Chains A and B, each alone.
Chain A
Amino acid sequence: MSKNPCAIIGIGQTQHKSRRWDVSLGGLVREAASRALEDARLTWADVDAVVLGKAPDLFEGVMKPELYLTDALGAAGKPMFRVHTAGSVGGTTGIVAAHLVETGIHRTVLAVAYQKQSEGNAQFALGSGKGASLGAGGAFAPYMRSYIHRTGAPLDVGPMVAVKDRQNALKNPYAHLKLADISLEKVKASQMMWDPIRYLESCPSSDGACAVVLTDEAGGLAAAADGRPPAWVLASAVRSEPSSFPGRDAVWSAGAADCAADVYRQAGITRPREQIDCAELYVPFSWYEPMWLEAHHIVGHGEGWKLTERGDTALGGAFPVNMSGGVLSTNPIGASGLLRFAEAALQVRGMAGEHQVDGARVALAQAYGASAQYFSMWLVGSSPDPFA
C-alpha cells in the first residue's frame, strides 16, 4: 500500500498553566495554531482542512466544540474533523491529519488539540458526573501494582521517572510544572494518592493547546530548501481493545504491542531500541515509563525499569524518554497526545532548544487513553528514508 510523503513544517503550543483565564477557549487554540502557522510561514488561507481533537465534552461542557471553534481556527468553509479517542486523542488527531495528506485528499492540514481543564473538573468528568470517581490514577493503580510485581522492579523506579521528567521540564519554556527543587526524597515524601502512585508521581491538570501543520512532499521540500527542516512522518498506527475481557493483559496489552509492531513494520524497524534515537511516551503516572517501553516492545518484558534505573532514559542518556518533561509536567489531556507527537517532530527537526537530543534523526511518539485501551503512535524522521 503506497502513500504520499507527509511533512511536518509547523509546530505551535501555548504556554501551559493550571488556569489560562487570560484567554477564551477560542483564544487558547488560536494561540497554538497561530504559532504553528508562523513556524510554517503560512497563513490561514493556506490551510485546506482542520482536524480537532480533545478529550470528552464533559471536561468543559462544550458540545461539538469543532463548531464552536471554527472561527478561532479560520476553518469557515473548510473541512473540519473532530477526533475523539479519549486520552490518546491528541496523537490520533495528528495521525488523521497525516492520513489526509498521505492519501492526497488535502495538501496542507492543520491539526489542533486542546484541553482547558480549569473550566471543569477531570475527576468529575472521568467519573461520568457521579460520586466516588476512581480518577485516572485509581483506574491505573492495579495495573502498576501488577507491573511491579511481575517484573520485580525496585520501588524507586517510579520516583526516578517523576524526578527526571520534571528536570526535563525545566528546560522546556512551555511546560506547566517547573519544580526546580524536585528530588527523589521530595517525591517519596509526597502524599500517597493511589498506591503505588504518590502526588508527585502524578500529572497536573493543565490548560493548553498544541497545533501541527502537515503538508505534502513539495511543501516539505520547499521548507527544507528555505532552511527550515521538516519532520517526515515515517509511520503511524492506532489500535484499540475493549476495556475489560477475560484474559486481558492491561500491562503488556495486545493493543499496545500490535500498534508498535505496525509502526515498526511500516518504517522497516527491526531493532527499535537501537534504530530510534528518542521517544515521547504518554506517562501521566511515573510507572508508565517502564511499562510502555516494554508494552511497545522498545525493550523486552521486564527490561524497561532497568533502562530507567540506569539513567538511559534521561536527557543525554542512551535512549532519552520525554525530553519535553512529558505528561508528568504538562497535562492538557486532549492536547497531551499531540504534544508528544509534536515534541518528536521538534527533535528530528533539531528545534527542541535546551531539551534537544544531539543528532536525533528518528523519534517515536505514543499516546494512550481510557482504560489503557486506545493507542496511537507515530514515528518521524529528519529524512523520509532514514534507514536507506
Chain B
Amino acid sequence: MIINHPILGPRDAQEFVYLGDAALIDRPDGMTDGIEAFHTYAYLRDNPAGDHRELWYHEQGDRSWLVVTRNTVTHEITKVELARDVARAMGRST
C-alpha cells in the first residue's frame, strides 16, 4: 500500500504506523465537557465499511502525523492531509 504524503510524495506503508480513527484529534475538554463525553472519546469508535478518516504516523520518515481517508473495503486512499492542518482547521492547536 502506498500513502501519498502531502510533503514527501508517495511512500510505502511500511514506513508508517497506524493509530486509528482521526476523531481522536477532537478531544473534549476534560474540565467542562463531563465524564460522558470523555468516555465516548476514549472508548467508542465507528467501524464503517467504506470511507474512514484515520491517523497515520510517518515514523520512518519525517515524523509527521497524517489524516488518511481510506476505504476500509477496497483499501483505496482518496485523501491524505497533515494532521496539523486538519487540527488547526478545527480550531485546535492554533
Q: Is chain B found bound to chain A in the same assembly?
A: no
Q: Which residues of B contact A (CB under 8 A)?
A: none
Q: Which residues of A contact B (CB under 8 A)?
A: none
